[in-house]
């Protein structure tokens, strides 16, 4: 398929050559094993240089030494966290003791378990790396002084051939773009988020409720969060209602009198019924998207095209396989290791930030940036850059 595509006369394959990974990989020096009897010194890590996250150029804020991260934007996620924690605290304070005594200890214990799943997946979705791609991997060589200023810039759009899982299509071409902010050729399905100012691998969408992008590394946490919050809401309604009904039967009073006695429990029933609507809708929407093998972004963008022009390049051919491939795929490692020590000349990073997030320009930093060898680009781009236009 790749060969036939390249041989088509009207097909532009500029920049589509397969690249060797050596030229574009960031300089991640692996530490040599400490052989007995030899004194292996780490020549790159310098404790005074700080951690990787202090040099990160995206619009991201870090805490706990780079262990937690969030978008440097409105921290709406604090409100989202409170929307889960407050009703849970009210339930544990006002309903759990009664249900423990008069129904079963299993009822509050199971609620605690669902709450823990919901809150921990919320934290992971909100404060972990969604799959931010490393920057500056494919820098174009700087323009020559004598070069014609009207010379056309190298192309920033391209096509990548991917293997298709559909039985009647062997392969498909999907668009790939060069990101001018991150200086990288984005892999298929990656997008640049304007709020985070990062390219994110298999970006689903930017979620304002968790104040983070939802991408390849945290989609499953996000989905677990909306699903478990839906279950928690249903459980909250059921358990609070049970408390009122049990009280009215045991004491032989009307439902209205029982509500009057357990006002917090009734408030939780109302809160659960209203608060559950959004997570229910999101759970349904994401089950639908996963079944199609599309991200939120791909699904919404496909509606800009005519129906006959829409295609799903990443579907696995069946609903079940599409669900499995998202929910059971391994979580890839982070590309940045934000809490690791910074190593001099690491081209993925920029100038150091201080605690407030402002840049700390140093003269050494300029030298470091100059010492980074620019990425030479695909062969066709290289030729184009060196051959002046006639």
Interface with Zn ion by CB under 5 A: which residues? 179, 181-182, 192-193, 195-196, 199, 206, 213
Q: Are 218 and 124 in contact (CB under 8 A)?
A: yes
CA distance 346 to 49: 12
**What does residue 360 show for φ and ψ, rounded to 5 degrees?**
-115, 85
**Minimum distance from CB of 133 to Zn ion (Å)?**
7
Residue positions counted in the chain = 390
Note if 207 is an active site residue: yes
DSSP 36: T
Nearer to Zn ion, 207 or 239 (CB): 207
CA distance 142 to 139: 9
CA distance 186 to 280: 33
Nearer to Zn ion, 95 or 179 (CB): 179
Q: One of 196, 207, 213, 328 is an active-site residue; which one?
A: 207
CA distance 293 to 165: 11
Torsion of CA 286, 287, 289, 291, to 10 degrees: 160
**Minimum distance from CB of 301 to Zn ion (Å)?**
16
- H or E element at residue 287: helix 277-292
CA distance 322 to 65: 37
Nearer to Zn ion, 111 or 338 (CB): 338
**Minimum distance from CB of 73 to Zn ion (Å)?**
8
CA distance 172 to 181: 27
Nearer to Zn ion, 206 or 220 (CB): 206
**Minimum distance from CB of 374 to Zn ion (Å)?**
17
**What does residue 174 show for φ and ψ, rounded to 5 degrees?**
-120, 145
Nearer to Zn ion, 301 or 371 (CB): 301
Collapsing DSSP states into helix, strand and coil, what is residue 104?
coil
**Minimum distance from CB of 77 to Zn ion (Å)?**
12
Active site residues: 207
């Amino acid at each position: 398929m790749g060969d036939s595509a390249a041989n088509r006369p009207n097909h532009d394959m500029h920049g589509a050559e397969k690249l060797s990974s050596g030229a574009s990989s960031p300089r991640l020096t692996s530490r040599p094993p400490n052989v007995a009897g030899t004194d292996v010194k780490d020549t790159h890590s310098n404790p005074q240089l700080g951690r990787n996250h202090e040099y990160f150029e995206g619009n991201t804020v870090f805490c706990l030494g780079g262990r937690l991260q969030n978008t440097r934007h409105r921290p709406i996620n604090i409100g989202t966290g409170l929307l889960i924690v407050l009703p849970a605290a009210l339930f544990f304070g006002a309903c759990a003791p009664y249900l423990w005594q008069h129904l079963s200890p299993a009822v509050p214990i199971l609620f605690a378990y669902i709450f823990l799943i919901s809150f921990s997946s919320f934290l992971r979705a909100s404060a972990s790396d969604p799959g931010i791609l490393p920057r500056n991997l494919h820098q174009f060589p700087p323009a020559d002084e004598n070069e014609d200023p009207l010379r056309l810039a190298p192309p920033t759009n391209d096509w990548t051939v991917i293997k298709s899982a559909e039985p009647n299509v062997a392969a498909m071409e999907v668009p790939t773009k060069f990101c001018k902010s991150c200086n990288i050729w984005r892999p298929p399905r990656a997008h640049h988020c304007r709020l985070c100012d990062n390219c994110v691998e298999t970006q689903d969408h930017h979620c304002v409720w968790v104040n983070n992008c939802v991408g390849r590394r945290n989609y499953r946490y996000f989905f677990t969060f909306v699903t478990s919050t839906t279950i928690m809401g249903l459980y909250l309604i059921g358990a609070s209602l049970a408390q009122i009904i049990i009280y009215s039967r045991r004491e032989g009073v009307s439902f209205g009198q029982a509500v009057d006695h357990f006002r917090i429990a009734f408030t939780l029933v109302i809160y659960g019924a209203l608060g559950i609507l959004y997570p229910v809708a999101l759970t349904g929407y994401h089950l639908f998207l996963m079944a199609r093998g599309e991200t939120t972004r791909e699904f919404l963008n496909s509606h800009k095209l005519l129906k006959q022009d829409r295609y799903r390049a990443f579907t696995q051919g069946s609903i079940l396989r599409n669900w499995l491939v998202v929910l059971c795929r391994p979580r890839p490692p982070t590309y940045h290791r934000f809490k690791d020590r910074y190593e001099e000349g690491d081209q993925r990073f920029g100038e150091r930030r201080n605690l407030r997030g402002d840049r700390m320009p140093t003269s050494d930093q300029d030298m470091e940036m100059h010492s980074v060898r620019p990425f030479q680009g695909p062969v066709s781009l290289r030729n184009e850059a060196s051959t002046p236009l006639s």
